[in-house]
Amino acid sequence: MLTLNISEADIASANYERINHPVKAIRKRMDSIWLVSEGFSRQEVARRSGIHRNSVKNYIKLYHKGGLEALQSFEYKGTSSILMRKRITLEAYFRANPPRTAKEAAAKVEALTQTKLSIDEVRRFMHKIGMKPLKTGHIPAKADSEKQQDFLDNRLLPLIEQAQKGECQLFFMDAAHFVLLPFVGVLWCFARMFVKAAAGRNRINVLGALDVVTCKLQTVVNTTYVNANTIAELLKKLARSGKGLPIYVILDNARYQHCDFIKELATSLQINLVFLPPYSPNLNLIERVWRYIKKNVLCTRYFECATKFHNAINQALTDINSNCNTRNDLKSLLNPKFQTFAQNLLQ
């Protein structure tokens, strides 16, 4: 029987690489070698690693021939081997410099590997390493990710934990202004579809407060403006529906929310206002509710009059609190986990 002769240093390296190596095939090879070094039979190693038992024997032979370095190299024929040999370099480059098109990626691959490959080959390679075309998002240029992270760790998450333990009520407050315009989106269809633009620019305003635990929404709706009086109306509504627990409201820095009138009213109602760091809509959970309404209620739909437009939004607000299907849709969306975007910013 073929015996594996491996050093303690290589055992430790194989144990690390079987978990952390970026290439799945190499992780399997390292896992097999490590399991053999731990005394498992070839059959058991094959079962655990999801490979054929003959592959285990071949990996042992490959190790004896060239050590762990041989296990981390491939001898494929054809252009794919060029990409796989340079995978780590190319992946690191594309993580730092995501290409806009497959053509741009192919040009960069040629520059890094000195080999000209077709766009289709490069596209397949990008899919293989886990890349896919995703629409970029945007955040305000003045957003401070360090302040956001500090607020998230030291203020917001502790409050969420208290609310989940039943020690306080926590609401996320924000206003949305829905305008009677076409909301275009993606449809699965056989030909490109068009949605008619409504006549006029009618608007409906929704000021909402979302309970982080129950995911119930309290609102004030109008067709004029959102101002300090609107904020006051919603704060009074929250105070009346209180459960005898301290009330905290997370809100942004709009001027009508930061005025002395609102701060004094909140104090008299025993409501604690917690202002987000400037330019931090990503930390306001209720923003996801507005996105849900735009995507699922307004997107790719034509409303022939303002009344039908208003009715659709009011029905959506009702469904958020009472419709089982809508609440199931929102269940994962309103999970209070937040991203500060620092790790995914384009330079």
Which pTM does this prediction carry?
0.68
The CATH number of domain 150-344, selected from 3.20.19.10, 3.90.76.10, 3.30.420.10, 3.40.50.300 = 3.30.420.10
What pLDDT shows up at residue 136?
82
Burial 145-164 (b: 16+ CB within 10 A, else e): beebeebbeebbeebbebbe
Q: How far apart are CA 310 and CA 346, in angstroms?
A: 38
- Residue 11 · residue 5 · CB < 8 Å: no
Query: In this structure, how many other beta carbons lie within 10 angstroms of the beta carbon of residue 12?
Result: 11
Residue 85 above 80 pLDDT?
A: no
User: What is the rounded (10 degree) CA torsion for 44, 47, 48, 51?
Assistant: 120
Domain ranges within the chain, ordered by starting residue: 8-71, 79-128, 150-344
3-state secondary structure of 297: helix
Q: For residues 33 and 10, what is the distance between their CA atoms, to the nearest angstrom?
A: 10
Nearest to 176 by CA among 50, 320, 277: 320
Segment 168-227, tens digit of pLDDT: 999 999 999 999 988 888 888 888 888 888 776 789 999 999 999 999 999 999 999 999
Strands 169-179 and 247-251: parallel
**Tokens representing residue 198 in the block:** 């409504």
Measured distance CA(99)–CA(101) in Å, rounded? 6
Select, from the ranges 19-23, 37-41, 118-122, 220-224, the one with the highest average predicted confidence (pLDDT). Answer: 220-224
Q: Quick one: average pLDDT of 251-263?
A: 93
Q: Give pLDDT, residue 80.
A: 54
pLDDT at 283: 93
Burial code of 324-346, b = ≥16 C-beta within 10 A, e = fewer?
eebbeebeeebebebebeeeeee
Tens of pLDDT, residues 270-315: 999 999 999 999 999 999 999 999 999 999 898 888 999 999 999 9
